[in-house]
Amino acid sequence: MGIIEKAEEYAKKKYEKNDSSHQWEHAETVRKIALELAKHFDKIDLEALNLAAIFHDIDYSSPHLHTENSIKVAEKFLRENEYPEDKIRKVKEIIFSHTTHLRKQFGEAKLTEGKILYDADKIIASLEPGKDFSNLFYFDESRELLKKFIT
């Protein structure tokens, strides 16, 4: 079994502890949209993007700290599976980029994969009635994709 399959198996169970809007289904949808967006860019680390999407909301026990806590869960899992340290660092950075309050506090995402995960998560959030986060998107491609969903 590859690392992505292992992560899926592990994450599916763990997401069950979360509230109804942060279940495994959410992670899966964000991941699908992220992979769709990734098609528009060169040299995307798809493995890192997949793993970051899988783990991005995995610990929602404390909503305001869910990014930091989810990073810890990802790090522990990846270490236990002997995933290389430099790649773990990348996955952590991508997960870190997905929240607006951390973006405001620490600045724009540096990795394209981080921007993609952010936009994918905000595309989903924009599908809620009365919500529109398209002004925050990093990419025009994300605006195009959102349009496809709502029309």
> Which spans of this chain sit near Fe ion (rule: CB under 5 A)?
57, 121
Rg (CA), the chain: 14
Residues 37 and 116: beta-carbon distance below 8 Å: yes
Provide the minimum distance between the beta carbon of 91 and Fe ion in the complex, in angstroms, as a whole number. 15
Provide the minimum distance between the beta carbon of 98 and Fe ion in the complex, in angstroms, as a whole number. 5
CA distance 127 to 120: 11
Residue 43 or 101: which CB sits closer to Fe ion? 101
Residues 146 and 134: beta-carbon distance below 8 Å: yes
Provide the minimum distance between the beta carbon of 42 and Fe ion in the complex, in angstroms, as a whole number. 25
Residue 62 or 135: which CB sits closer to Fe ion? 62
CA distance 131 to 65: 22
Residue 90 or 103: which CB sits closer to Fe ion? 103
Provide the minimum distance between the beta carbon of 84 and Fe ion in the complex, in angstroms, as a whole number. 25
Residue 32 or 85: which CB sits closer to Fe ion? 32
Structure tokens at 71: 């990073």
DSSP letters spanning 128-143:
STT---GGG-S-HHHH
Look up tokens 């599976």; give the residue: 81
